[in-house]
Amino acid sequence: MKSNILTSIVMIISCLSLQNTVEAKCKEPMQGPQGSPGPAGPIGATGPIGATGPAGSSTGSTSFGTYYINKPLGDGATIPPGGVVPFDTTLSNFGSNVFNSANGTVTIMDPGYYLIEYGISLPSNSGLVFSIAVNGMAINATSIDMDSNGQSTSGSYILQLAAGNVVSILNNPVSVGDPVNGNITLVKLNN
């Protein structure tokens, strides 16, 4: 700091005593050491309101449905080995997916991730296995066994489904029935 002050003093003396020879140098601005920062200024005025952003997506599901079967004892309803659980009634259906009550399937028209939940109630039988099937192929990871002590089973899975996929619940590996009760619910999770 002392050397900066001395340099400034020498420059001033040089300019005063040798005005003609160093005139150009004396016209340059002289710079001293940097001072401490000053106090913060007042807060400025609020700026104008920005443009409105684009509309967001809806928060609800664009496709969902619940379908069921309720065949009483003595009705003679059966599900053959490897057969589709014959859901035949619509409880709710919203969106573009198509329920086929003739064969108990749902055709996906609105692709995305779906929560699929199902429940089956049957007479006491051992060795029954139910699975979610897509396009007639059972998804092994969704298989649930029904033992001889239980008369009902249920499952809940999230699957990615494409437009045109056909969803059903398959019975494996033995024929069952009379009475047959069950339901399936599909809810699209994303838009």
Longest distance between any two alpha carbons in the chain, whole Å: 126
Closest by CA to 113, choosing from 159, 52, 150, 147, is: 159
User: Does the pLDDT value for residue 112 go beyond 80?
Assistant: yes
Q: What is the pLDDT of residues 144-179, one digit of tens each?
A: 877 656 577 888 999 999 999 999 998 876 566 656
pLDDT at 102: 92
User: If DSSP codes are grouped into helix, strand and coil, which group holds residue 128?
Assistant: strand
User: Does the pLDDT value for residue 91 go beyond 60?
Assistant: yes
Say how far apart CA 187 and CA 166 lie, in whole Å: 15
Q: What is the pLDDT of residues 1-53, one digit of tens each?
A: 555 555 555 555 555 555 555 455 555 566 788 888 889 889 889 889 888 88
Q: What is the pLDDT of residues 48-82, one digit of tens each?
A: 988 888 876 666 778 899 998 888 767 777 788 88
Q: Find the angle CA(79)-CA(96)-CA(86) to the nearest 5 degrees.
A: 5
CATH 2.60.120.40 positions along the chain are 64-188
Q: Give the CATH architecture of domain 64-188.
A: Sandwich (2.60)
Kindly state the tokens that stand for 190.
């994303």
Task: Give the Å distances, CA to CA, from 40 to 46, 110, 168.
Answer: 17, 58, 69
